[in-house]
């Protein structure tokens, strides 16, 4: 029983800190549709879910996006340059959103929005979570917004980015937070490897979480 508990702990930590490979993330893009693609593009820049939800059309310029930080919870407001992926998705989405705005009498201005009667209003966190789960299911993965944020940090590190560059992208107030963040990714990878050697599937904790929360 003691050994089983240790192995389950390996699986839990590894799943909590899971991230996608570059190939898996690219496959999600290829199989995503509509606003899913916009959300994926923004998460690929390391943004938090709350930062995407707060984003207004007016925050976007041809070269960069103004990001509204988490405020009380410690995130920093900053600007992020538009990479090719984000620019490509916004080029088709923004004109479409402008057409939607012409059909309503009230527009909250949020980048991600849906029509509620004669009003365009911003998405809720649950709506964004559903978009990401739907997109992830097409590649056979249980994907969350934070998993994609961790993936962005990990892939940026693979390309040789410094911890300070990653700190800026993630919006951490302190570089110490970023160092802890990256260290947890390393530990999770080692635990996932250990769990596989011990014969414990990382999906164990995911199934338990699904039963507890009712999520797929």
Residue 41 confidence class, pLDDT cut points 50, 70, 90? very high
- What is the per-residue pLDDT across 196-216, written as a single tens digit (0 to 9) for each? 555 555 444 444 444 444 444
Q: Give the tokens for residue 7.
A: 């192995």
Cα 108 from Cα 203, distance rounded (Å): 40
Please list the residues that pair with 14 across neighbouring strands.
none
Exposure b/e, 91-104, CB count within 10 A at least 16 = b: eebeeebeeeeeee
Q: At what angle do helices 84-101 and 35-43 cross, to 10 degrees?
A: 140
Cα 199 from Cα 196, distance rounded (Å): 5
| Residue 145 and residue 43 in contact, taking contact as beta carbons nearer than 8 Å | yes
Judged on CB neighbours under 10 Å (0-12, 13-18, 19+), 47 is: buried
Mean pLDDT of all residues in the chain? 80
> Which domains does the chain carry?
19-200 (1.10.443.10)
The whole-model pTM stands at: 0.76
Q: How many CB atoms lie within 10 A of CB 74?
A: 12
Q: Where does 45-188 show beta strands of DSSP type E? A: 64-67, 78-81, 106-107, 113-116, 119-122
What pLDDT, on a 0 to 100 scale, did the predictor assign at position 159?
86
- What is the per-residue pLDDT across 134-171, written as a single tens digit (0 to 9) for each? 999 999 988 989 889 888 888 888 888 888 888 888 88
Q: Residue range 23-45: average pLDDT?
A: 92
């Amino acid at each position: 029983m003691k050994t089983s508990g240790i192995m389950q702990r390996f699986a839990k930590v590894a799943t909590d800190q899971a991230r996608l490979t570059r190939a898996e993330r690219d496959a999600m893009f290829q199989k995503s549709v509509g606003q899913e693609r916009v959300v994926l593009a923004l998460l690929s820049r390391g943004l938090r879910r709350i930062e995407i939800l707060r984003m207004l059309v007016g925050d976007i310029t041809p070269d960069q996006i103004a990001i509204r930080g988490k405020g009380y919870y410690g995130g920093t407001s900053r600007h992020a340059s538009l990479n090719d992926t984000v620019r490509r998705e916004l080029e088709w989405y923004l004109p479409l959103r402008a057409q939607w705005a012409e059909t309503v009498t009230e527009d909250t201005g949020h980048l991600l929005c849906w029509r509620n009667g004669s009003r365009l209003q911003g998405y809720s966190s649950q709506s964004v979570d559903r978009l990401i789960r739907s997109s992830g299911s097409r590649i056979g993965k249980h994907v969350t917004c934070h998993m994609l944020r961790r993936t962005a940090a990990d892939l940026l590190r693979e390309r040789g980015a410094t911890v300070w560059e990653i700190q800026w992208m993630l919006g951490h107030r302190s570089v110490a937070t970023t160092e802890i963040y990256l260290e947890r990714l390393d530990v999770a990878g080692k635990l996932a490897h250990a769990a596989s050697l011990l014969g414990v599937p990382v999906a164990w904790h995911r199934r338990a979480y699904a039963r507890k929360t009712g999520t797929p």
